[in-house]
């Protein structure tokens, strides 16, 4: 199978390129080769590569900056996936696309299901929902994998920020009233690779994909807060002097983009169809195991 992978230098794309080795002919693109803000280039790349499957982790992920750049965020997160899907339809290709817990408003207090009503409360969430809808509208075999609070030892993310700040500060004041499921980017990559393996093993991979088409929540199991996540990071990371950790409210740490107070998503559908998912605590320990922050600076 010929696979076009976008965003190879991003934290999910980086892990995907590793996890997908041996899964087919992988053509991995970075922004210099496939800039999602350039829709004409997106069309040209898909037409020239002629993939059987497009895997698209590339996205505009600067949640707060999106509030001041809504058009750019929409082009990358909303329009570009639609262009990929339209081109995929012309050549008989399928698509795996990634979305976010921020398509929900956070008004629930039990884990969100794939069928729950979407109602994003920030620009980033609105643009990611637009991308979901564009892929669905193309009518191709597709999987939309919603994930949340993504972190890893590569790129920019909450984990690496906390590890850096822990070296610099005596106290960390962390929001304790937003609930979610921290998800290691390798969990996302390995979950995707398991899906691709099932496609390859199927008698008719395209038919298998069509039968399984839809939205799935791909997140670590369990839930915590940013404060709880930070506490676990400090407990398991190799840090000589740990800073004091103080819980604060969202109101005490205002940001340009409103965050949902609760964005935990149920992984039951993904687990029942594909494979088991780790708890967020187990995944964090695996990520940090034998790692020191200095190794990744």
Which residue numbers are catalytic?
124
3-class state of residue 173 by DSSP: strand
Q: Looking up tokens 């998800």, which residue turns up?
A: 183
Distances (CA, A) of 183 to 76, 151, 160, 234, 241: 22, 6, 14, 17, 26
Q: Looking up tokens 């093993």, which residue turns up?
A: 201
C-beta of residue 50 within 8 angstroms of C-beta of residue 62: no
C-beta of residue 27 within 8 angstroms of C-beta of residue 68: no
Nearest-angstrom CA–CA distance, 147 and 234: 23
Nearest-angstrom CA–CA distance, 76 and 98: 13
Structure tokens at 121: 């409360």
DSSP single-letter state for residue 254: -
SS (H, E, C) 171-215: EEEEECCCEECCEEHHHHHHHHHHHHHHHHHCCCHHHHHHHHCEE
Structure tokens at 65: 């900056």
Query: Across the strands, what pairs with 28?
Result: 5
Q: Is 230 exposed, middle or buried (0-12, 13-18, 19+ CB in 10 A)?
A: buried
Nearest-angstrom CA–CA distance, 81 and 95: 9
């Amino acid at each position: 199978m010929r696979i076009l992978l976008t965003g190879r230098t991003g934290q999910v794309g980086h892990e995907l390129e590793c996890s997908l080795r041996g899964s087919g002919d992988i053509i991995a693109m970075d922004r210099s080769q496939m800039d999602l803000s350039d829709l004409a280039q997106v069309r040209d790349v898909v037409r020239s590569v002629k993939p059987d499957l497009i895997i698209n982790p590339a996205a505009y992920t600067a949640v707060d900056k999106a509030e001041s750049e809504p058009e750019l965020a929409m082009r990358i997160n909303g329009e570009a996936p639609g262009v990929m899907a339209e081109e995929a339809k012309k050549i008989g290709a399928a698509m795996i696309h990634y979305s976010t817990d921020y398509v929900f408003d956070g008004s629930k207090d039990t884990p969100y299901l794939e069928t729950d009503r979407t109602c994003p409360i920030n620009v980033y969430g609105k643009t990611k929902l637009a991308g979901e809808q564009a892929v669905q509208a193309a009518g191709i075999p597709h999987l939309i994998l919603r994930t949340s609070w993504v972190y890893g030892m590569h790129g920019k993310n909450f984990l690496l920020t906390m590890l850096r700040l822990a070296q610099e500060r005596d106290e960390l004041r962390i929001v304790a009233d937003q609930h979610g499921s921290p998800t290691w980017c390798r969990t996302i990559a390995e979950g995707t690779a398991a899906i691709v393996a099932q496609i390859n093993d199927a008698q008719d991979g395209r038919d298998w994909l069509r039968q399984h088409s839809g939205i799935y929540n791909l997140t670590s199991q369990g839930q915590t807060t940013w404060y709880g996540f930070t506490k676990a990071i400090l407990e398991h990371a190799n840090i000589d002097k740990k800073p004091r950790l103080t819980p604060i409210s969202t109101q005490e740490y205002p940001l340009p983009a409103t965050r949902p107070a609760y964005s935990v998503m149920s992984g039951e559908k993904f687990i029942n169809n594909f494979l088991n998912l780790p708890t967020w605590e187990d995944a964090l320990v695996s990520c940090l195991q034998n790692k020191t922050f200095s190794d990744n600076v």
